[in-house]
Amino acid sequence: MPVIAAQDDGHPNANEVRDALCHMAASEAFRGSPQLVAFLRYVVEATLRGEQDRIKGYTIAVEALGRSENFDPQDDPIVRVEATRLRRALNRYYENGGRQDPVQIDLPLGSYVPVFRRSVPAAAPACRAGAGVQDSSRARPAVQEFLLFLAAYVANDAAGAARHAALITSDDDPLGLVARVLVAAQHGEADAARAMLDRLVASGPAAKT
């Protein structure tokens, strides 16, 4: 049973996710990278079919990247390498032409299962008087997700930690950045951890004085 259905709960449905994938695949960020598109299309379609349990390094290598059935992830790091390239391509895409896309596709660190979410429009100026109340109500779920992330991280549950880190949806939220730094370090992605740590330091109080 697909995990993404036509909704009233704010989550994108399967057709919206596929439209976002099509638009992304035709973009400049992915035009010269058919292997990245194949990787992303495979994990997106498997997730839409509700087959997240099949999204493993082996199945991605064999069914999406053309490796033989004798593929051994211990000898061939192709999936980890391509996952790192894919995350970078997604970041470039959403930093440029894709930032206005109504539906965004993310591949959390430490997981090959994508996350789908609607872009959140900026609040209208007329609503700014109540911004403090709205911000605090949004902050509570982020704090709760961060606490759940910490619990999974301490328990060495890498998949759970990555899942809760991804649900702290704003990349500019310090809690989200801390979670992503820890997940990246946990999975040996030193460059990604260092880049996010630099962002965290740059966005801190000392950087604004």
> pLDDT band for position 3 (50/70/90)?
very low
Tens of pLDDT, residues 126-167: 444 444 434 433 444 566 667 776 766 776 666 666 666 666
pTM over 0.85? The answer is: no
Q: Is 181 left (phi over 0), alpha (psi -120 to 50) or beta?
A: alpha
Do the beta carbons of residue 141 and residue 149 sit within 8 Å?
A: no
Tokens standing for residue 43: 């994990």
Tens of pLDDT, residues 49-96: 999 999 999 999 999 999 999 999 889 999 999 999 999 999 999 988
Do the beta carbons of residue 61 and residue 79 sit within 8 Å?
A: yes
Distinct helix (H) and strand (E) counts, the chain: 9, 2
